[in-house]
Structure 1
Amino acid sequence: MSLLERLNQDMKQAMRNKDKQTLSVIRMVKASLQNESIKLGNDELSEEQELTVLTRELKQRKDSLHEFKEAGRDDLVENLNNEINVLQVYMPEQLSNEELETIVLQTIEEVNATSKQEMGKVMGALMPKVKGKADGTEVNKLVQKHLS
């Protein structure tokens, strides 16, 4: 089942359950997917493109969450946490720290990186492997740790 089909089914269920929060998030994601499709000029997005849109939506909410926490806006923090939980249902299963570390070490070895100056080369080879399965900032920290 494609992401769009799954979103449509979940949207109908949210309507039946009168779950306005979930319904709102699903509609936002569907709109983002549709906008991306129009931007790229495709009728349908590939799984990778859908994942890119989902990841972008999740990252935006996490960034906002951080800002709201710093500003002491607890009313908005709870709302964003709920939105993040809804979005994470559609994300692929995240890699464990051990799995991620293994992939980082393998990639460093593959590109023969030895210093932090080669971090861009490592990240360029690594990110497609872990796309949607690991947070970019965590990946970045691990790469820096192993290249120092």
Structure 2
Amino acid sequence: MSLRERLNDELKASMKSKDNLKLSVIRMVRSSVKNREIDQQHELDDREIIEIISTLCKQRRESIRLFKEASRQDLVDKEEKELALLLEFLPQQLTREELEELVRKTIAEGGAQGSKDMGRVMKALQPGVAGRADGKLVSDVVKEQLA
């Protein structure tokens, strides 16, 4: 089942169960997908939909951080619930240990020497970790390994 079909099925199920939060999150994802399709003038595949969901997750994490700084626990709770729902549509997230192993392997295969090769390592890693790990975490692990 494609991600698009899964989103449609979940939308119908959340309408039937009157789960308003899940309904609004799925509608937000579908709206973002539709906007990107209009911009790029082609139907998005699962990989591109995962990129959109990852971006939405990143926005939620940043909002949570800002709301915590502003002591707005009510908004933090709402954003955390939305983030949890968004994460359900992403592939299984990599643990830090799995990510470190993947980075070590990529560095060894690419023959990267130091921090000047970070861009090359990130480019090689990106297809394998897209949607499965936060970009900032990947960047931090690569920096540690190359240092």
Q: TM bucket by the smaller chain?
A: over 0.9
Supply the distance in 2 between the matched residues of 1:69 and 1:49 (Cα, whole angstroms): 31
Matching residue of 2:124: 125
In structure 1, the partner of 2:8 is 8
For 2:70 and 2:113, the matched residues in 1 are separated by 40
Could you tell me the percent identity over the aligned residues?
A: 44
Asked if residue 23 in structure 1 is aligned to residue 23 in structure 2, the reply is yes
Listed one character per residue, the Cα deviations across residues 19-62 of structure 1 (whole Å, up to 9, x for unaligned) are 111100000000001111111101x2112111111111111111
Deviates more, 1:105-114 or 1:78-87: 105-114
Equivalent residue number for residue 137 of structure 1: 136
- Distance in 2 (CA, whole Å) between partners of 1:48 and 1:91 is 10
Ranges in structure 1 where 5+ consecutive residues have no aligned partner: none
For 2:47 and 2:11, locate their aligned partners in 1 and report how far apart those are by CA, in whole Å: 22
Letter matched to residue 23 of structure 2? L
Could you list the runs of 4 or more consecutive aligned residues of structure 1 that deviate by over 3 angstroms after TM superposition? none
Name the SS of the counterpart of 2:67 in structure 1: helix
Partner of 2:87: 88
Aligned to 2:50: 51
Deviation at 1:96, TM superposition (A): 2.4
Q: Deviations over 1:109-145 (max 9, x none)?
A: 1221111121111111111211111111111111111
Alignment coverage as a number of residue pairs:
147
> RMSD value over aligned CA atoms?
1.1
Task: Specify the code of the residue in structure 2 equivalent to 1:79.
Answer: K
